[in-house]
Amino acid sequence: MSHYLSLILFEPLVGALLILLINKQNEDAIKWVANITALAGFVISIPLWFWYNPGSADFQLVERAPWIPSVGAEYFLGVDGLSVLLILLTTMMGFIAVLSSWTAITERVKEYYIFLLVLQTGMLGAFMSLDFLLFFLFWEVMLVPMYFLIGIWGSANRLYSAIKFFLYTLVGSVVMLLGILALYFYNHSVTGVYTFDVTVFHKLAVPFDLQWWIFLAFFLGFAIKVPMFPFHTWLPDAHTDAPTAGSVILAAVLLKMGTYGFLRFSLPILPDASRHFVPMIVVLSIIGIVYGALVALAQKDWKRLVAYSSVSHMAMVMLGMFALNPVGITGSIVQQLNHGISTGALFLIVGIVYERRHTREISEYGGLSKVMPVYAAIFLIMTMSSIGLPALNGFIGEFLILQGVFVANKIWALFAGSGVVLGAAYMLYLYQRTMFGKIENPKNERLLDLNHREFATFAPLLILAVWMGLYPTPFLRRLETSVQHIVMRVNASYAQAYADCGAGAPTAAQVASSDNPAAKFLASMPCDTTGKK
């Protein structure tokens, strides 16, 4: 199918246009169209899993068409392993978010679903774009629907949180635009061609001085999105005041934009600057892990606690990424997916009790496992996933990150490990305060357990949590070529270590097609003692 990616990309927009035509009083029709659109969006993206060929090193399912030729901008879409997994996460979480809003949103229903679907297109476009201008367009397009989602359907402090989110992320984005333009003009000065093609930039040799500035410009844009300390202050407000579906999408997908940006753009295009800034990023990440966790421990608002846990988890993701070795980066990507699944689920969990009791105060709850057993079970599974209990997805991500970081620097691994411990602390404390013990508050005595629709929103997340925890190989296989490509660019010592083994650095395709998965994977030791790879 030659336009498969465009189909996935614009399908939510078509749904939004359909909803535009429906009379705003007909709320049922609107909800059905939105849900069917979101589900269809997920279902048509499933073939990506099968059609993506892990053996090939190139971008696949490519679509290219001229957009603004006089400027060198093209409509250029393509995927590699990293984007495939993130796109699948996006379509899945999009469906879950739409489904979870059925009873939660009662006012201005039409605009709500339109914004949600437009946001979906924006996020998908950012993951698929291989043209920098197109990427930037989709990156910014995401801001407006999210602003409205928080500002109209959010809770008490929504106006402040919405504008803070909007302006904060915007400042990062516009500075990133300048970095993009600097790269664009440098490329022209070297090749004589005006282009925004990312694949061309991946092969460009940029002088270190320019790399330094461009890295910082990109850093501002991506670090605010991740969010890294100290640019994280928009997140607690935005997450807490957004409606449930908004928080789910924000945590599960929007935060991944930042890390995706680092992996797709900063690391491969600016390798020398990336290595140069490792100490700074590691320090900020470690502070983020520990600080995020400690602040989460002190929270009284349930949603705010989960929001700070996001800060801590994403800082762990960044730490794994900037270990700059295959294991660390793979762990970082896996943990991104995990965070999407587990934190998305945690926000859904808060949303469910919030819909029933209209309060997020942890002290208002307690002993809920007695009246809502299914809910408590799901909450427990997701808590364990977030903590990193073996047999669930969180363990795979955290273990790989720790392994990668340990190879890079043992002190960093110590701090990363502490993050795991602190993570367990605040999550278990939360669980205990809300689920265990006696039911102190009489309002909690007659709370209803999950209904079928609510359970359906959790089902895919549970399945994935267990699947990725017990059998992560299919996910890891799809990531190999992307990770290898990034590592080859950014960490020349790997290429050197392979060359030292005697047989020259393997190409990404060779790595993918060789059939020793364990050795490929633990490529922190490129050669074993016999010199074999």
Partner 1 sequence: MPAGLSTSDFYYILPELVLTGGALLLLIADVILPKTQRAALAWVTLIVIGATLASLVPFESTHVEVAHGLLAVDRFALFFKILFLVAAGITVLMSVPYLSVEGASPGEYYFLILCATLGMMIVSGGIDLITIFIGLETMTVSFYILAGFIKPSQRSNEAAVKYFLLGAFSVGILLYGMSLMYGLSGTTNLRVMASAFVGQEHDPRLVLAVILVVAGVGFKIAAVPFHMWAPDVYEGAPTPITAFLSVGSKAASFAMLLRIFVEGLPAMSADWRLLFYVLSIVTMTVGNFAALTQTNVKRMLAYSSIAHAGYVLIGVVAGTARGVTATLIYLLIYSFMQLGAFAVIVLLRRRDEIGDELKDFSGLAFRNPFAAFAMLLFMLSLGGIPPTAGFMGKFWLFSAAIDAGYYWLAVIGVLNSAVSLYYYIRIVVFMYLKKETIGSEPRTSPTLAIALAVAVAATLVLGVYPRLLFEVAEASARTLGVAAPVITALR
| Residue ranges in contact with partner 1 by CB under 8 A | 67-71, 133, 136-138, 140-141, 143-144, 147-148, 151-152, 159, 163, 166-167, 170-171, 174-175, 177-178, 181-182, 184-185
Give one DSSP letter per residue of 374-422, joined into a string: HHHHHHHHHHHHHHT-TTSHHHHHHHHHHHHHHHH-HHHHHHHHHHHHH
- Distance CA(533)–CA(507), nearest Å, equals 13
Cβ nearer to partner 1, comparing 161 with 343: 161
Cβ nearer to partner 1, comparing 122 with 292: 122
Nearest approach in angstroms of CB 45 to partner 1 is 22
- Distance CA(248)–CA(242), nearest Å, equals 9
Nearest approach in angstroms of CB 85 to partner 1 is 26
Nearest approach in angstroms of CB 288 to partner 1 is 24
The identity of residue 408, as a single letter, is A
Cβ nearer to partner 1, comparing 261 with 394: 261
Cβ nearer to partner 1, comparing 217 with 281: 217
- Distance CA(283)–CA(322), nearest Å, equals 11
Nearest approach in angstroms of CB 338 to partner 1 is 31
How many residues are listed for the chain in this entry? 533
Cβ nearer to partner 1, comparing 78 with 179: 179
Nearest approach in angstroms of CB 533 to partner 1 is 44
The conformational region for residue 531 under phi > 0 = left, psi -120 to 50 = alpha, else beta, is left
Alpha carbons within 13 angstroms on the beta-carbon side of residue 105 total 30
Cβ nearer to partner 1, comparing 118 with 289: 118
- Distance CA(75)–CA(387), nearest Å, equals 41
- Distance CA(456)–CA(96), nearest Å, equals 8
- Distance CA(28)–CA(425), nearest Å, equals 43
The C-alpha angle with vertex 159 and arms to 20 and 9, in degrees rounded to 5, equals 40
Cβ nearer to partner 1, comparing 104 with 181: 181
Nearest approach in angstroms of CB 94 to partner 1 is 20
Cβ nearer to partner 1, comparing 136 with 277: 136
The answer to whether residues 344 and 251 touch, using CB atoms and an 8 Å cutoff, is yes
Cβ nearer to partner 1, comparing 224 with 228: 224
Cβ nearer to partner 1, comparing 133 with 405: 133
Nearest approach in angstroms of CB 18 to partner 1 is 17
Alpha carbons within 13 angstroms on the beta-carbon side of residue 333 total 31
- Distance CA(30)–CA(32), nearest Å, equals 6
Nearest approach in angstroms of CB 320 to partner 1 is 31
Residue for token digits 């070795």?
325
- Distance CA(230)–CA(288), nearest Å, equals 8
Helices (H), 53-108: 81-100
Going by C-alpha positions, the residue among 71, 50, 74 that lies closest to residue 62 is 74
**DSSP reduced 3-state for 251:** helix
The answer to whether residues 232 and 215 touch, using CB atoms and an 8 Å cutoff, is no
H or E element at residue 64: strand 60-68
Cβ nearer to partner 1, comparing 107 with 515: 107
Nearest approach in angstroms of CB 19 to partner 1 is 14
Nearest approach in angstroms of CB 175 to partner 1 is 6
The answer to whether residues 81 and 54 touch, using CB atoms and an 8 Å cutoff, is yes
Structure-token pair, residue 129? 């774009």
Nearest approach in angstroms of CB 29 to partner 1 is 18
Cβ nearer to partner 1, comparing 151 with 271: 151
Sign of CA dihedral 367, 453, 236, 157: negative
Nearest approach in angstroms of CB 151 to partner 1 is 5
- Distance CA(423)–CA(527), nearest Å, equals 35
